[in-house]
Structure 1
């Protein structure tokens, strides 16, 4: 009996929430339309100002309404600075505002979904949901259904409040995303943009390095300087990952081709210019299904049996970072905004997060996270949007020549990568 009552009340709760949301949406549209009309008449300064008035007043605001709006705005801003205590009865006092965490400090919570993830912290509130970038660690006071779509893009989720059956916990388990809840103060103490490690098994969040803030080509937010000897026009340098920061992905396949007795470049076509790999890099096909398809095609086209695990290993054994490139990245990061633009697979997200020196990069734009890959012009436009740069302020480096023309067409300087030494020469020609 109690179970039936609980199930019925749970349904009613969700139905009532749905009705409330629908009604609120209608009311907001009406209020905003009234605000638009009053703004056009010059009676208020902005249509959203009506939300600082009561229903009876907003229909026909009296004289002096601007003073009322200004006073209530100031009061709201003051109240927003208060931190509510987690529990109180009757009288209460604002909770103490704690200092932001420093590098090496950590918070404890309830571990919900296992996995250890490293990524940039993004403090998310309802009005900043659109700022979340794929691969970031979403940190919120609490989540609800409005946050659900983000769980498929972020690397991990952390909340101030919640339990094992809270929205964040349930959805994180469904998506298989590392998650820690009930930290109490993560959204107020973890600096936005900090590099953090989320351990969903242990229920901890550790600050590894303080952040660089939101990516900005201007250099002010990132704390970068622009020496007078530098070309002022160039503000950002963007690297491809596989084949530039690491050994070429073709190298492992060619070694495997030799082992199979095939022509050295026989397997190249399955990773370069192939529609099936394109589907994987757009997040439309899993790596396993792609590898199974390659095995079938190689057997049909070359009469050779290959093992799916060995094929996967051949493609993965070229992911070691080049030390000369790491040295170059460290040097450039002192003066430029750096980013990575990669045609990659969703399964590599954690590998990228744990191997790249993320403290030097503003972000990693992974094709599988946005559903579009190079050389589609859309991904280069998305790159510029995230950099907040003009195309003429960006240098793009890639080892696949076919990926460069769309970037150049937008106005970026482009460099075809051959080796680290040659890259330094080409960058020097650009004054970098």
Structure 2
């Protein structure tokens, strides 16, 4: 007999990032301006470059760069590229570059010229002692211990974090939409069960509706979806008290992160569980059992059941089901306490139209990086300012405007493909203006 997990709760847990596939109606307009290049008086210095593997020379996506003795940081994009903006009074600090499974590197900012920087990281191989290897023979117990020690190992104060958030929609390999935002996050202590609050500071967007093939795709959840990937603060979305026992846990080869020995725990749903659950790897510090990183996927083998978790609305005659749902969350260390630093979510959907020979494939990605934070004594977010967990960022954004505002904020460097897409959209916009004259 097949055993079912607590699937009644699953839609609540997973629909934090829902997708609406809607038929377009009427005339859709492009945003007013796109990535306008303007001269901004800079009170900061920019450092632009790539992080790569020292041997293979391959790009290292999602590497973290942090300005030492500050909370200023950013991450590399999928091409290993970064753009780090540092206030002028901090350019004599050092920068720490770290990546999962690689040796951490520290470089004085004064040694960098600011442009075309190439940072090489060496892979780290960690051989744990027999004592450490045998300390935890039960991988499930180690995961439970990591979840239980969140009050000790993670930020225990109210914190206001500044974050950069981005959503992209691609039709097959071509970019169709880009939304970005600077947000402030009022984070409760990890020991608290209260939900964090998010305030939108500024948002911008660009959409090429011609590429959406008569479909308007909207991503519900926005920055909250990125926050809920934090499995320590929000274990109920993946490892709640009920479904924790519906997973099989096992040890993988140990590694090293930021010069710290790390257990690697693999997990997947038990074979007798039929509903979609997650599978992936957890990276747990050997010394204090902190979860440092988690990389996991949702099992979408049952496309119909998986679709129920994500697809909020679709036109009649259209079948939509996910082919990939991938998640990643990384934590950063400050004053011997860890905190959420970065998360990335990628959803791929196949769309079949009744009566059409070919289908369409859409990929929706969202990522958020904490770029600065400070401890707070009180909650300064008013109810009017606070975003709803069901927010659709593209509805809140108002075009690529106010470039002066974005100048000083650290963002995730745009991928070449996104830059190319926006350049093409610009050309179409200019052509439309000429045709209308």
When normalised by structure 2's length, the TM-score is 0.24
If asked which structure has higher relative contact order (CA below 8 Å, sep 6+), I would say: 2
Going by fraction, where is strand more abundant, 1 or 2? 2
Going by fraction, where is helix more abundant, 1 or 2? 1
